[in-house]
Chains A and B, each alone.
Chain A
Amino acid sequence: MSANRGKLSSTALHTTLVAACVIAVFPVAWVALTSLKTERDTWARPDELGTIGLGNYGQVLADTQFTTWFLNSLIVATGTTVFGVLIAATAGYAASRMRFPGHRPLMWTFLVTQMFPAAVLIVPLYNVLSGLGLLNSYGGLILAGSTIAVPYCAWMLKGYFDTIPVSIDEAGRIDGLSPFGTFWRLIVPLAKPGISVTIFYSFITAWGEVAFAGVFMQSEDRYTLPVGMATFVSDFKAEWGLLTAGSVLVMLPAAAVFFLVQRHLVAGLTAGGVKS
């Protein structure tokens, strides 16, 4: 194709792509640049650079609770992911391989609860967690996050198990394995790519969760990153230096991991979506 493309259209193609790349990269680059401006209020003067340095990073790590929030987010996201995947895996397998009464309602529940926004459950969950004394605790937020993670993981894992040939299960049965044995010893090892994608996806979902965290975690030492970092720029102050430095610290590791797995993400998602 490129042979019969004229010089003009080639220029147009590259111009369009360069413009799109600038739009895609600019906000991230701007946040990174602002995080390096150490003079107060230089963020409000875009045309000035002021002094450049790592002062904001030092401050956000040493003088704020950023590291605590980072740890909180890590605990909650890991907890939600482990709980979600462990609980959902066997159900995903059963839904993929076995036909049993209740199969259809189960798939329906996965589909519908997966679509529920936090707003649907937040008030009653607040009451339930408050009754159990689980407000402001990691356990409470993990349980709340699981309302999203469990149906979601089950749906995605079912989609992935569907792509593994049934003949492997049959071979396992002939060798005398129980259904769970087949699942555990044959299917789980084969499904590792699908399981990793599910783990990654439910982790980043829990990592970025804002609605539940905003109301269930009430003391500053239990805030997760989005809630904690929002306090840097409230109505009363605008510590953009701290906020941007924190943003870069959150973004860098996330983006690094993301680029490693992004190819598999779409495949995992669409596999779960197309096959019902």
Chain B
Amino acid sequence: MTTTAVRPDNGVAAPQRPPRRKVRGLLAKHWYAWLMIAPVVLVISVLVLYPLARGIYLSLTNATEMNVGRTIGANEIPATYDLIGLDNYLDVLSGADGAFYPRLLWTIQWTVICVTLHFTLGLGLAMLLNRAMRLRTLYRMLLILPWAVPPFVAAFGWRLILNDQGGVLNAVLGAVGISGVDWLGQPLAAKVSVIMVNVWLGVPFMMVALLGGLQTIPKELYEAAEMDGATPWQRFRAVTMPGLRPVSGTVVLLGTIWTFNQFPVIALLTGGGPGGSTNILVTEAYERAFQGIRDYAGAATYGAVIASMLVVFAFFYQRWLRRQSAEVLT
């Protein structure tokens, strides 16, 4: 044992072995690494992979609250749901269940609008803050504040502000002569509201990240560009954007994932309403599983569809990462 422990993992290439001893050879060489990842592999298998497999199984059944096995007092009611094959997927993907494509469209709109606003506003503020001026630290502190607010607290606070009965936003609008809006009660206004709140929450992170990125761009580059007579816009295009690429690529991706999966803002601000109009895919799945007659199979199907979209996304993300690091090397 002790001899293998000291042996470095990236040691000299092993001599050709007969295949019979290959497994033992691999074990001797890598047991240490495998031991170190074992707890994570165990936890992920039990908590993620097994539930995932079970979720896929459930999505092939017609399980609802009424027919899954449960225990009421001393009586055990056995499960009575059946395997029904791909019917759930057909229902969802053919549009027969009615909600999927509207939700998907809204999820994409929601993600694109939120991330675009996060990035442009965050970049704008970062560029304003990235110069010598009075009160810079104070501005920075105040602008970061929304990031320090837990999303569920922000959702409650905004509900108070957007309330159609005596909310302060309508009072302010009324004072300048605009009639009040039922922010959380009308489909379009509710969509605007959830985007507004999520943008409020997400801009500070982008701002701080991009400010960090801006500070890594050498001042000399700007000076050189100025000497060459470049206009501010040209300097932005030729110096700022390329200099920010490593940071901006990462934060846009993180932002996309976070926004796609944003649960608390929508669930606590509008509860997906009115009439499900603000439900993105993840809140829709949640609603199916735990509201009204719990449609476990339908929710699992949504879960499986969302998971496969994320796997595809992750695949392209990795390819993109590899291409980026290759670019840096050349």
**Interface residues, chain A, with chain B CB atoms under 8 Å away:** 1-2, 10, 13-14, 16-17, 20-21, 23-25, 27-28, 30-31, 34, 43-47, 87-88, 90-91, 93-95, 97-102, 106, 108-109, 111-113, 115-128, 143-144, 146-147, 150-151, 154, 173, 176, 178-180, 183, 204, 207-208, 210-211, 214-215, 225-226, 229-230, 233, 240, 243-244, 247, 250-251, 254-255, 258-259, 262-263, 265-267, 269-270, 273-274, 276
Residues on B with C-beta less than 8 A from A262 are: 144, 147-148, 208
> Roughly how many angstroms separate A25 CA and B139 CA in the complex, as a whole number?
11
Chain B nearest Cβ from A74, distance in angstroms: 13
B310 at the interface (CB under 8 A from A): yes
Residues on A with C-beta less than 8 A from B40 are: 87-88, 90-91, 106, 150-151, 154
Q: From the candidates B26, B145, B253, name the one contacting A255 in the complex (CB within 8 A).
A: B145
| Chain A to chain B: the 3 pairs with minimum beta-carbon distance, closest first | A44-B166, A117-B261, A124-B51
B125 at the interface (CB under 8 A from A): yes
Chain B nearest Cβ from A210, distance in angstroms: 4
Inter-subunit contact B318/A111 (CB<8 Å):
yes
- Number of B residues near A (Cβ < 8 Å) is 104
Q: From the candidates B48, B131, B145, B313, name the one contacting A121 in the complex (CB within 8 A).
A: B48
* Dominant secondary structure of chain A at its interface with chain B: helix
Inter-subunit contact B171/A47 (CB<8 Å):
yes
Inter-subunit contact B48/A178 (CB<8 Å):
no
Inter-subunit contact B160/A31 (CB<8 Å):
yes
| Interface window among B31-39, B87-95, B109-117 | B31-39
> Roughly how many angstroms separate A124 CA and B12 CA in the complex, as a whole number?
46
Q: From the candidates A44, A95, A100, A259, name the one contacting B163 in the complex (CB within 8 A).
A: A44
Q: Please, what's the 1-or-0 string for B282-322, where 1 marks a CB less than 8 Å from any CB in chain A?
A: 11011001100000100110111011001101100110011
Question: Can you list 14 A-B pairs with a CB-CB distance of less than 8 A?
Answer: A24-B144, A27-B157, A31-B153, A90-B40, A94-B37, A100-B33, A120-B285, A123-B289, A123-B300, A124-B52, A183-B36, A211-B263, A251-B153, A255-B145
Q: Please, what's the 1-or-0 string for B148-168, where 1 marks a CB less than 8 Å from any CB in chain A?
A: 111111101111110101111
In addition to A94-B37, A121-B51, A123-B300, 10 A-B residue pairs with Cβ atoms within 8 Å of each other are A17-B143, A88-B40, A98-B33, A100-B30, A109-B44, A122-B303, A204-B150, A214-B290, A233-B156, A250-B150
Chain B nearest Cβ from A135, distance in angstroms: 11
> Roughly how many angstroms separate A233 CA and B167 CA in the complex, as a whole number?
14
Chain A nearest Cβ from B39, distance in angstroms: 5
Interface residues of B in 163-192 (CB under 8 A from A): 163, 165-168, 171
B108 at the interface (CB under 8 A from A): no
Residues on B with C-beta less than 8 A from A276 are: 318, 321-322, 325
Chain A residue nearest to B219 (CB atoms) is A1
> Roughly how many angstroms separate A43 CA and B166 CA in the complex, as a whole number?
7
> Roughly how many angstroms separate A138 CA and B54 CA in the complex, as a whole number?
23
B74 at the interface (CB under 8 A from A): no
Chain A residue nearest to B287 (CB atoms) is A119
Chain A nearest Cβ from B230, distance in angstroms: 15
> Roughly how many angstroms separate A131 CA and B41 CA in the complex, as a whole number?
22
Residues on B with C-beta less than 8 A from A46 are: 166-168, 171
Chain B nearest Cβ from A154, distance in angstroms: 6
> Roughly how many angstroms separate A263 CA and B144 CA in the complex, as a whole number?
11
Total A-B residue contacts, Cβ distance less than 8 Å? 297
Inter-subunit contact B145/A179 (CB<8 Å):
no
Inter-subunit contact B144/A207 (CB<8 Å):
no
> Roughly how many angstroms separate A244 CA and B163 CA in the complex, as a whole number?
14
Inter-subunit contact A128/B6 (CB<8 Å):
no
Inter-subunit contact B250/A270 (CB<8 Å):
yes
Chain B nearest Cβ from A201, distance in angstroms: 12
Inter-subunit contact B33/A270 (CB<8 Å):
no
> Roughly how many angstroms separate A276 CA and B249 CA in the complex, as a whole number?
14
Q: From the candidates A91, A121, A226, name the one contacting B52 in the complex (CB within 8 A).
A: A121
Residues on B with C-beta less than 8 A from A226 are: 150, 152, 264, 268
B209 at the interface (CB under 8 A from A): yes
> Roughly how many angstroms separate A88 CA and B139 CA in the complex, as a whole number?
37
Q: Please, what's the 1-or-0 string for B247-282, where 1 marks a CB less than 8 Å from any CB in chain A?
A: 101110110010011011001100000000000011
B236 at the interface (CB under 8 A from A): no
Chain B nearest Cβ from A144, distance in angstroms: 8
Residues on A with C-beta less than 8 A from B304 are: 120
Inter-subunit contact A258/B148 (CB<8 Å):
yes
Chain A nearest Cβ from B310, distance in angstroms: 5
Given contact pairs A147-B47, A208-B150, A270-B247, A90 touches B39 in the complex (Cβ within 8 A): yes
> Roughly how many angstroms separate A95 CA and B286 CA in the complex, as a whole number?
34
> Roughly how many angstroms separate A25 CA and B157 CA in the complex, as a whole number?
12
B43 at the interface (CB under 8 A from A): yes
Inter-subunit contact B250/A251 (CB<8 Å):
no
Given contact pairs A1-B131, A230-B268, A21 touches B261 in the complex (Cβ within 8 A): no
